[in-house]
Amino acid sequence: MNDALRWRPNCSVEVLRARAELLAEIRQFFAERNVLEVQTPCLGSHTVTDPNIESIAIPDQGYLQTSPEFYLKRLLAAGAPSLYQMGPVFRAGERGALHNPEFTMLEWYRLGFDDAALMAEVAELVDMALGAGEYRTLTYEQVCTNAPARHADAEVTFVAGLEALGRVRVFVVDFPSDQAALARLRGTPPTAARFELAVNSVEVANGYHELGDPAELRDRFSADLAIRGERGASLPAVDEAFLAAMDAGLPDSAGVAVGIDRLLMLRLGADSLSEVLPFAHTDAVD
């Protein structure tokens, strides 16, 4: 772009209106279901230990939050009803057609739901945003088998398997136990009560029937930190306030995170996030 025009936003006014319309529709969707909208901090003293997510640290302040998950679960443990949050989250090193270090996340939790019930509600929200469509359900192993070739990195194989499916809406279920994240396990051999939704090969949603066992959660955080240590990644302290909330008791619930920018991109037929963001990262920080 000509330096004299670098001040201009990435997207058009029409796209700004389309974003506003989508956000309004989402809020109406949850209002009709009596799901409470809340706001939690974007900046917190702790962050996640997930080996596949790198947080943005703010010196002497803490971390920009990678998701509102821990705060929302603390609200649930304190007696809040089914709830949702829609707003900015931050992850280091995420750049590309489908990635930006700052993006808009919708995350919601439903009391008394398991992963199957939440998958149905996710489909309702996506149908509202993109129009009605048919959904396939495949296991994680089926998706990986669909990849042109197996890769040493399981995530690379998984993504390749999704891409090979083409323009479909597919829920991926039965993740292996080592990819359970914060989902509970079930069955023999155990699989995670976790799902992902991909639309036209774009990963849109990630959810699970929530694990509330503080001892198992602590073990998973320790395992995460061991992997991070092997990779030479940062080693954030475990969030003890979150674990204390889990000690108090997380109600039986399921939760999911949806990438709003990706959903808008699909709604408008765009090819990259930069087309639907007012200011992509390189412009926002100049």
Q: What is the CATH number of domain 3-130+205-284?
A: 3.30.930.10
Cβ neighbours, 10 Å, residue 285? 9
Residue 200 backbone phi and psi in degrees, to 5? 55, 40
Q: What is the per-residue pLDDT for 286?
A: 47
In tens, the pLDDT along 62-103 reads: 999 999 999 999 999 999 999 999 999 999 987 889 999 999
CB contact at 8 A, 259 and 105: yes
Mean pLDDT calculated for residue range 274-279? 94
Walk across the sheet containing 202-209 and list its strands.
36-37, 83-90, 102-111, 253-259, 202-209, 194-199, 169-173, 135-139
- Least confident among 5-14, 70-79, 189-198, 270-279: 5-14
Q: What is the per-residue pLDDT for 3?
A: 67
Coil, helix or strand at residue 89: strand
User: Going by DSSP bridges, is the β-strand pair 56-58/135-139 parallel, antiparallel, or unpaired?
Assistant: unpaired
Reply yes or no on whether the pLDDT at 237 is more than 80: yes
**Residue of 272 and 285 predicted with greater confidence:** 272
Among residues 265, 242, 256, 268, the alpha carbon closest in space to that of 103 is found at 265
* C-alpha to C-alpha distance for 286 and 278, rounded to whole angstroms: 14
Among residues 29, 92, 122, 104, the alpha carbon closest in space to that of 276 is found at 104
Coil, helix or strand at residue 183: strand
User: What are the structure tokens assigned to 13, written together?
Assistant: 């006014």
What band does 126 get if pLDDT is binned at 50, 70 and 90? Answer: very high
User: What are the structure tokens assigned to 235, written together?
Assistant: 């080693």
If you count DSSP H runs as helices and E runs as strands, how many of each does the chain have, helices first? 9, 14
Reply yes or no on whether the pLDDT at 279 is more than 60: yes
Query: Is the pTM above the cut of 0.85?
Result: yes
